Structure 1
Amino acid sequence: MKRAFTGGRHMLGERIKELRNQANLTQHELAEGIISRTYLSLIEKNSVHPSTNVLKKLSERLNCTLEDFTRETKDNNVSLLELKKEIKWAEGQVNLSNFDKLEDFIEKEYELNEKINEYERGIIYWVYASYAHFKNDDEKTCEYLHMAIELVKNARNVNVYLKCLTLLGQITFDKGEKVEGIDILSKALHITIYENIVSLVKINILWTIAEMYRKIGENHVTVHFCHEALELNKKLQSHHRALELEVTLSKAYLSLKMYEKAENHYKNAIKIASIYYTKFEHIAYINNLGMLYSEQGKYKEAYQLYLKCIEMLAEDDYVHPYKFYIYMHYAKACNDMGYYEEALHVIDKYAKDDETGYSNEILGDIYYNKNEKERAIEQFLIAVEGREPNYYHAMIYPKIAKVYQELGEYEKAFEFYEKSIVKIKAFTSEVI
């Protein structure tokens, strides 16, 4: 179903202003000898309705007919005012991440309308770029971003330019060009300082660059940018990127082994998710706190949180790829608590189609704890063939080496310790 336009009555004043701009006339130039500039301003604001005689004189100066004053813009039969509303609406949908609502807008190709200015055309291309990014089409995203940047980079209002730089930097970083991506975000951040920008746009830039630094291991820098964003939120009395900021901070503090601070931010994330997000997202952040407790060796606390997640999942039939990991974390917690049969039951029920290797790693841990070392090695070897990244494989190799060492097979133990080192080096080079 097509989305209905808001409003529909053509506004005469808007059309006169549109035609004046097309003729490159100022209000003074159009009004001179006909009416006062103030009266023309009121006409363009639709505050007063001019007489037919005045309209006739204005049409002669604008080299148009009286009918042109009541004619709507040709594209999709939309008046200029309605067109501006449409562009503003689309910009708002991107800000709200409501990308599914944009298809009708995109089909109308408003960027071809000669009546809009360059800045508005730049907004449209930014909307297209954001939609393409949502569809995981990096080539089209970059193409539209560069078109948008050319149109808005010299505009007095820098907000759309900053949004373009933020998305471009993010894509560049994700393609593996990490230094270049950070440079683009740094440029955007410098513009906010130079232009004294204090807005949600700056908060988004701060969070994005914070995430970049976290991913290359610069966690202290991440903490700095996140706290700057939180302070700006407080100043603006907003909650923009609140959940993302809390999660990024919790991960950064976890990497820094600052467990108490990590725990506080995980709890903040849970609280925010419980109020503003879906139930599944709420469950996911409870799960994350459980992972923190597991990391600290607080197995009982972790088990209780994972059990809570499982109980909440049972209340609704969720279909989400992360659901598998929640069940596997619960199985791991059961293993940590010595509840081996429950762990095996969960894996048997929820990991039949697992291609990641994660369930096999947990099975290896269970069999090792049950002193079934040959079966443990068998599962660990399957795990490293899974599609989890190099970092996780590097964590499994020492487990294999340890079992071989305990079995007295020292050459194989050495082989897998060496493989672990190679994987860690590969992962480190990928990150840096």
Structure 2
Amino acid sequence: MNHIAQRIREMRIEKGLTQAELAEGVITRSYLSQIERGAFEPSYDVIEKLAKKLECNIEDLLNQKPKNKSLLLLQIQRDIKLAEKSILESKINKAKKIIENPTFDLLEEDTSDEEKGILYWIKGKIYEHANHLTDAMANYRKSAQVLNEVNQEKAVRSLVDLGSVYTLNNQNYEALNILNKANKLAIYEQISGQTRISLLLNLGIVHGKLNELYSAINFLEEALDLNHSMELYYKSAEINMALGICYMQLNKTDEAHQCYSKAIDFFMLINDVENQAGTLNNLGILLRQTGHLQESVEKFNKSIALFKELGKENKIVNVELELAETLLHLKEYEKLEQICCQIIEGSAEKQYVGKANELLGDMEKARKNYAKAIEYYQAAKKLTDTNSGAMSRLINKQANIFHILGDYKKSSTMLVEHMTN
């Protein structure tokens, strides 16, 4: 009698069940009898159902290391399911620990195509979480290829995640091609539910990044409608955040404010602190643009506090620069100067130091300290790419000061030289 046969028999007797009672609704009594004698090895699904009837965990039936290949394979099949469940619950490290079992490498070829495809998807998620985007894309691509023949819904899931990583990598046209392929497959196979919602969200994001804002809004609104029809809130935070960004770019400030506020509430509910902080930053920018300066400061300070909890230094600096710009509008120059000087002294990122110098230049210009303003703008230019929009902005600001000072020749020469370079 093998180990699992012995465990099933022991636990059945312990529960006071006959073979007929345990087998009912799962398998025939005679098949259970043969399993208990060790004549047949049950499939993973049968073990799962028997464990449920025995009111125990599958681990209780597999609590010793099996010595034959078939039982090792059953454990791998179980672990793939557990790892997939962990990923869906955002427990990435737990999934990673599950599949680090060296037996996976030995018996991976013996798993079904569907299990292989799911395992590639799990690995893709783990690589993406570690910001190894090239490895993530390779695994998502393999997953979609394998699953396309056996489970189209999970193939769409893998394509959506592949498109999402391309978007993260700012390869937006490649992302759009992949997501369009996923959309065609989803329509053909009539795939709905959470997979469809995730697809619509990512289509909305990539269309937004390509400045196709009305198309983006249509996809995102469709995702919200599908959630509503299914009485779900799946990815509602991300959908509302993306809608807020689109409406903000279209200067539809009321709609943007409403979407950002909803997104923040949803992120709080699911304890997604990083995205909550990011959306607070977006809302702070919107409030500044609409003249609600004190409210803007409040949102930026909340965002900074949350990013500090997470230790996200670069994101803290980014929000601090947005806060400094609002302080410029409020003419709170002392606070602005303190923030910008700290960034100049402490940040290794040249774009942040450049922006801090630019804001100090704006402050000195507002104070009519024109010579000092030009110095700060010049310091910012040294840290700015020549052909960037930021460089054009800095040159225009310097030229404007020379114009104010009556040096029209220098002002026009500076602008002409920049346009001809």
- Asked whether the 8 Å contact 1:13–1:45 carries over to 2, the reply is no
Q: Cα distance, 1:262 vs. partner?
A: 0.8
Q: Cα distance, 1:99 vs. partner?
A: 2.6
Residues 49 and 408 (structure 1 numbering): CA distance in 2 closer, same or farther, change over 3 Å? farther
Q: Does 1:407 align with 2:402?
A: no
Which structure shows the bigger proportion of residues in helix conformation?
A: 2
Give the fraction of aligned pairs with identical amino acids, expressed as a percent: 21
CA distance in 2, matches of 1:173, 1:372: 43
Residues 44 and 405 (structure 1 numbering): CA distance in 2 closer, same or farther, change over 3 Å? farther
**Other-structure match for 2:321:** 328
Q: Cα distance, 1:229 vs. partner?
A: 0.9
Counterparts of 1:227-376 in structure 2, within 5 Å, are 227-279=221-273, 281-307=275-301, 312=305, 318-354=311-347, 355-356=350-351, 357-376=354-373
**Other-structure match for 1:26:** none
**Other-structure match for 1:103:** 96
Higher mean C-alpha deviation, range 393-402 or range 217-226: 393-402
**Other-structure match for 2:50:** none
Q: Cα distance, 1:391 vs. partner?
A: 4.1
Residues 209 and 390 (structure 1 numbering): CA distance in 2 closer, same or farther, change over 3 Å? farther
**Other-structure match for 2:124:** 129
CA distance in 2, matches of 1:319, 1:175: 20
**Other-structure match for 1:226:** 220
CA distance in 2, matches of 1:190, 1:210: 16
Q: Does 1:390 align with 2:388?
A: yes
Q: Cα distance, 1:85 vs. partner?
A: 2.3
Q: Cα distance, 1:267 vs. partner?
A: 1.2
Deviation by residue 1:278-318 (Cα, 9 ceiling, x = unmatched) = 556544433321110212233343234435556x5699684
CA distance in 2, matches of 1:422, 1:242: 48
Q: Cα distance, 1:422 vs. partner?
A: 8.9
- Asked whether the 8 Å contact 2:274–2:307 carries over to 1, the reply is no
CA distance in 2, matches of 1:277, 1:415: 54
**Other-structure match for 1:148:** 143
CA distance in 1, matches of 2:308, 2:130: 31
Q: Does 1:164 align with 2:158?
A: yes
**Other-structure match for 1:49:** 33
CA distance in 2, matches of 1:418, 1:119: 63
CA distance in 2, matches of 1:246, 1:116: 40
**Other-structure match for 1:182:** 176
Q: Cα distance, 1:201 vs. partner?
A: 1.4
Deviation by residue 1:2-55 (Cα, 9 ceiling, x = unmatched) = xxxxxxx736899xxxxxxxxxxxxxxxxxxxxxxxx99955899832388x86
- Counterpart amino acid of residue 133 in structure 1: E
Deviation by residue 1:231-288 (Cα, 9 ceiling, x = unmatched) = 1122232222222111111111111111111111111122223332255654443332
Deviation by residue 1:90-111 (Cα, 9 ceiling, x = unmatched) = 2223334433333333432526
Residues 206 and 344 (structure 1 numbering): CA distance in 2 closer, same or farther, change over 3 Å? same
> Structure 2, unaligned stretches of length 5 or more?
9-22, 42-63
CA distance in 2, matches of 1:422, 1:108: 62
Higher mean C-alpha deviation, range 225-234 or range 297-306: 297-306
- Asked whether the 8 Å contact 1:398–1:420 carries over to 2, the reply is no
CA distance in 2, matches of 1:172, 1:96: 23
TM-score, with structure 1 as normaliser: 0.75
Q: Does 1:82 align with 2:75?
A: yes
Q: Cα distance, 1:418 vs. partner?
A: 6.0
Residues 162 and 309 (structure 1 numbering): CA distance in 2 closer, same or farther, change over 3 Å? closer
Residues 80 and 49 (structure 1 numbering): CA distance in 2 closer, same or farther, change over 3 Å? farther
